[in-house]
Amino acid sequence: MIEEISISDLGVIGETTLELGPGFTVVTGETGAGKTMIVTALGLLLGARADAGSVRRGASSAVVEGRWHVPGHDAVAERVEDAGGAVEDGELILTRTVSAEGRSRATVGGRSAPVAVLGELADQLVTVHGQSDQIRLTSAAAQRAALDGFGGRVLEDALSTYVSAYDAWRAHAAELESLRRDRDDRVAEADRLRAASDEIEAADPQSGEDVELAERAERLGNLEELRLSAGLAHEALSSESLDGVSDVVGLVESARRAIERVAGSDPALQPVLEQLTELGIQAADASASLSSYLGSLEPDAGHDLELINERRALLSGLTRKYGETVDDVIAYGQRASDRLLELDGDDDRVAALQQAVEHDEEVLAMTSADLTAARERAAAELSERVTAELGSLAMAGARLVVEVSDGGEYRRHGRDQVAILLQPHSGTDPRPIGKGASGGELSRVMLAIEVVMAGSTTVPTFVFDEVDAGVGGAAAIEIGRRLAQLAERTQVIVVTHLAQVAAFANNHLNVVKDASGAVTSSSVRRLEGEDRLQEMARLLSGLGDSASGMEHARELLEVAGQSA
């Protein structure tokens, strides 16, 4: 619900605030006073296109701010939060600024946001019926959604059951189509994977094998040099020649014995003796290790190296095709095996999906028929009730027709096409609702529809711009009565020039024009008591102080059940 709208420098309005609130608010004023600027201001807050020409002459920009009360409206709060704004204590503030150069900017919940966000919020906050854009049910989708909303729980359940069947059918059909479409590709993929799997399985690579073979190949490739170097080192440490005095072990032993003979004469030689003893042990150990290493060198290294290089070449071929390392090749082989199991089961899957699709189509046909029947019942009731309303709104010969026809194919909303048609006079053919009547008649048609559908609507605010165009007398009173009826369930704001309509409002705002300055300016004030009676009299007779007009105004307020 809109609590108030503040306007600055928009058209003829200099500075004003509209205090709205719940129920039925009516806006009146003399021709040219700026009543339509109220609808223009609201349109700007709802994302309408900005026009630099709407900025008040001499002003740098026009500013419109709206304060909404939206407690419990989770969808609105969520969208506002997505835009970076906030709804605090159920209050939402929207602002739109239009510069004299035509630039426009918006704020949503205290944060700057694209103007498109206002348009998205508009669908959930306000429905506007103006002389140029009366019809919110312009699209087939909107008309179908309106009928579904009017149909209540029965139609809602039928639609939900159908949608579940449709989603299952589409999922199975899409998978089946994919399998059939890609059959050749999947066969080729299976052949490639089978060949790769066979090749890898035949080679039987082991984890880390490539690294181990590289190390062995390096060793065997340098075998002669390793043998020669190790032999020379062993000969230097422990010579096997007959004299044996030129090797390290023999020399260290000679030095040790020489020191040992005299160490008792000088304690300072004792550490030297211990060092020579340890050195002799280390030299003997190193000699033994070299002897063992020389014994371990393969006698047939050439043949072993050839086998290793052949194995490495085989593994290299695998890594070029299936991965950088042998471990990658092993992992590829496992994935290929898993995928082959999936691909080899395609035939069974195709058969199962074919059966599932056939079953889904049977269920879809039944649920679609149930949905169509529910829509046809709701369409007949909606047509009858709106047509009855039109008879009380000076459109006695008009008839609303809600047509449900077969769209020819299953869609997520069903097979049905829904069209809301208007037969403006008896003997004429029903035409699309936007083409079958004048602007004023269209507003009354929409009023009748909104009154009938009020119980199923979720939009909290309705705005009607001169819904009473071309109507007077008793028909105008009926329009006011039905607007008041609609206002029992939702907020209603009406711009009117008829006292018969204004009489039913619980909140009367008057746009006042002031031409005392160089530039005409308008403001808005709330009318009560005698001020309201005078405005009602002006609407009736053109004179605010007419005695007969005042008396007639009192009579209208009594008929409407409103006190002055």
In a domain, 254, yes or no: yes
Q: What CATH number does residue 83 fall under?
A: 3.40.50.300
- Which has the higher per-residue pLDDT, 274 or 242? 274
d(CA 515, CA 416) in angstroms, rounded, equals 57
- Based on the domain organization, do 515 and 536 belong to the same domain? no
Q: What is the reported pLDDT for 72?
A: 75
**2 near 126, Cβ under 8 Å?**
yes
Share of the chain above pLDDT 90, in %: 24
Mean pLDDT of 491-518: 84
d(CA 521, CA 409) in angstroms, rounded, equals 58
In a domain, 447, yes or no: no
- Based on the domain organization, do 218 and 116 belong to the same domain? no
Number of structural domains (the chain) is 3
- Based on the domain organization, do 2 and 83 belong to the same domain? yes
- Which has the higher per-residue pLDDT, 74 or 461? 461
In a domain, 496, yes or no: yes
How confident is the model over 296-331, as pLDDT tens digits?
766 665 566 678 778 888 888 888 888 888 899 899
Q: Tokens representing 197?
A: 């799997």
d(CA 484, CA 479) in angstroms, rounded, equals 9
Q: What is the reported pLDDT for 444?
A: 77
- Based on the domain organization, do 127 and 233 belong to the same domain? no
Q: What is the reported pLDDT for 564?
A: 44
How confident is the model over 37-54, as pLDDT tens digits?
888 888 899 888 888 888
Q: Is the pLDDT of residue 290 over 90?
A: no
- Based on the domain organization, do 312 and 250 belong to the same domain? yes
DSSP three-state, residue 461: strand
**Count of Cβ atoms closer than 10 Å to residue 345 Cβ:** 11
- Based on the domain organization, do 543 and 482 belong to the same domain? no
In a domain, 335, yes or no: no
Of 267, 290, 324, which marks where a domain is finished? Answer: 324
Of 324, 353, 373, which marks where a domain is finished? Answer: 324
How confident is the model over 7-40, as pLDDT tens digits?
998 888 888 889 998 999 999 888 776 777 888 8
- Based on the domain organization, do 82 and 213 belong to the same domain? no
Strand extents, DSSP E, 102-250: 104-108, 111-113, 126-129
How confident is the model over 373-384, as pLDDT tens digits?
999 999 999 999
d(CA 11, CA 57) in angstroms, rounded, equals 8
- Based on the domain organization, do 7 and 121 belong to the same domain? yes
In a domain, 375, yes or no: no
Q: What is the reported pLDDT for 226?
A: 66
Q: What is the reported pLDDT for 227?
A: 66
Strand extents, DSSP E, 260-411: 399-406
- Based on the domain organization, do 502 and 534 belong to the same domain? no
| Greatest pairwise CA separation for the chain in angstroms | 154
- Amino acid letter for position 459: V
Of 324, 353, 375, which marks where a domain is finished? Answer: 324
- Based on the domain organization, do 112 and 244 belong to the same domain? no
Q: What is the reported pLDDT for 563?
A: 47
pLDDT band at 368 (very low <50, low <70, confident <90, very high): very high
How confident is the model over 192-205, as pLDDT tens digits?
888 888 888 888 88
Q: What is the reported pLDDT for 372?
A: 96
How much is the pTM?
0.60
- Based on the domain organization, do 12 and 96 belong to the same domain? yes
In a domain, 142, yes or no: no
**47 near 115, Cβ under 8 Å?**
yes
- How does 417-448 read in b/e, with b if 16+ C-beta sit within 10 Å? bbbbbbbbeeeeebeebeebbeebbbbbbbbb
Mean pLDDT of the chain: 83
Contacts of 279 (CB under 8 A, 6+ apart): 252
- Based on the domain organization, do 119 and 35 belong to the same domain? yes
In a domain, 174, yes or no: no
**532 near 556, Cβ under 8 Å?**
no
Contacts of 168 (CB under 8 A, 6+ apart): 360, 363
Poorest-confidence range of 12-21, 249-258, 297-306, 415-424?
A: 297-306
In a domain, 250, yes or no: yes
d(CA 345, CA 480) in angstroms, rounded, equals 70
Q: Is the pLDDT of residue 460 over 80?
A: yes
* Range of the structural domain that residue 543 is part of: 528-564
Of 393, 401, 561, 552, nearest in space to 482 by CA? 393
In 425-472, where does DSSP find H-type helix? 439-453
Poorest-confidence range of 147-151, 217-221, 414-418?
A: 217-221
pLDDT band at 133 (very low <50, low <70, confident <90, very high): very low
